[in-house]
Amino acid sequence: MSRLGSIGARLYRGEVGYDFVGKRMIWYGISILITITAVVGLMVQGLNMGIEFKGGVVITTPKTAVSVTEAREVAEEVSGHIPIVQELGTGGLRIQISDVDTTQADKIKTALADDLKVPEDKLNAELVGPSWGEQIANKAWTGLGVFMILVVIYLAIAFEWRMALAALIALIHDLTITVGIYALVGFEVTPGTVIGLLTILGYSLYDTVVVFDGLKEGSRDITKQTRWTYSEIANRSLNSTLVRSINTTVVALLPVAGLLFIGGGVLGAGMLNDISLSLFVGLAAGAYSSIFIATPLVADLKERDPQMKALKKRVLAKRAAAAAKGESPEGPDGAEDTDGALDGAPADVTPAGAVVGQRRQPTRGRGKRR
């Protein structure tokens, strides 16, 4: 078994672990700082909306010896706007100029034909109105709202309202960071961007729901025992799925990174940039929020419940009494607790985190009953 697989098995069995929930204030602070940076970038920099949302003209040239830089300078001079120029696979150029109407588009086409030394009838000019982009944006907002409502309802029914609220906050966190990075990087927002943003919604919830399912099983009949608090079982559930979450995210990020850095960066494919950047940032933010935001937030909300408060008091009182007698001065798992690690498998907690009786292994060498 590989080293990572060995660590994953030990995490699953509870032999090792990290106190994610106990250090939740650190993660909250980091998340707030990242979110504020994204919001400030969005307010100051703004989104670079594509031609589909602002309207304009797209002019395609046949195969030409004119470079992208030269075409950009000519298009900016004749139009008065900053154009986006891309080289096509056929050797031609795609010149995109926003915020122009039909009359301006005809004049720009004629001027470009003269300056680029290309026959005007060989230039293909397509006028794009902003109404289509507005329809796409409105439908995207509608889809996003319906999705969030359905997610909250489902999680509230399948789990509980606290988990639904935590998942919703984590989802908003992921979308805010993704949009903010888009503003800071300056990538153009196109319908491909909208598709990417809607796609990451499911990925953002996947790991969160997996952890919540283990937490639901682990916290069943939790008030009938006095050894573990809700936060400790939540941390146990999170550690048991940690390697699985990391592996799933890395496997999903590798092809997206190929699209972003090779397809978009090396090959210069604009549409791949629009989709892959939102997917890359959204996947990474979703994995982060499921580990550092959603589960600690559920533990915070649940610990406010009177029953959980009473349970925590009983657990701490029992530990204090045991420590006074010198029976168990170690950490909550019965082993020394250092650097936030919860080392040692709880005897009454299953790999899913459920509270059960002490597990015993059969003793070898016992005689058979006669």
pLDDT at 303 over 60: yes
Query: 56-60 and 93-98 as β-strands: parallel, antiparallel, unpaired?
Result: antiparallel
Rg (CA), the chain: 28
Which residue, among 251, 247, 272, has the nearest Cα to 262 in the 3D structure? 272
What residues does CATH 1.20.1640.10 cover in the chain? Answer: 3-49+132-307
pLDDT at 165 over 90: yes
The confidence score (pLDDT) of residue 138 equals 82
What residues does CATH 3.30.70.3400 cover in the chain? Answer: 56-128
- The tokens for 223 are 């008030």
Which residue, among 116, 24, 17, has the nearest Cα to 300 in the 3D structure? 24
User: Between 1.20.1640.10, 2.60.40.10, 1.10.1740.10, 3.90.1150.10, what CATH number should domain 3-49+132-307 receive?
Assistant: 1.20.1640.10
Phi/psi of residue 134, each to 5°?
A: -65, -40
The confidence score (pLDDT) of residue 25 equals 92
pTM tops 0.85:
no
Q: What percent of the chain has pLDDT over 70?
A: 79
Q: Which residues of 204-239 are buried (b: 16+ CB within 10 A; e: fewer)?
A: bbbbbbbbbbbbbebbeebeebebbbbbbbbbbbbb
The confidence score (pLDDT) of residue 13 equals 59
The confidence score (pLDDT) of residue 31 equals 92
Summarize pLDDT for 18-46 with one digit per residue, the tens. 788 988 999 999 999 999 999 998 888 88
Q: Tell the CATH topology of 56-128.
A: Alpha-Beta Plaits (3.30.70)
Summarize pLDDT for 75-102 with one digit per residue, the tens. 888 777 778 787 776 677 888 888 777 7
- Whole-angstrom CA distances from 366 to 94, 134, 283, 362, 369 are 82, 77, 53, 9, 9
Which residue, among 187, 366, 198, 157, has the nearest Cα to 282 in the 3D structure? 198
Per-chain mean pLDDT for the chain: 77
Distance CA 186, CA 188 (A): 6
Q: Are 171 and 204 in contact (CB under 8 A)?
A: yes
Neighbours of 83 (CB within 10 A): 23
Q: Strand, helix or coil at 363? A: coil
Per the listing, tokens 């307010």 go with 43
Summarize pLDDT for 332-356 with one digit per residue, the tens. 444 433 333 333 333 333 333 334 3
pLDDT at 291 over 60: yes
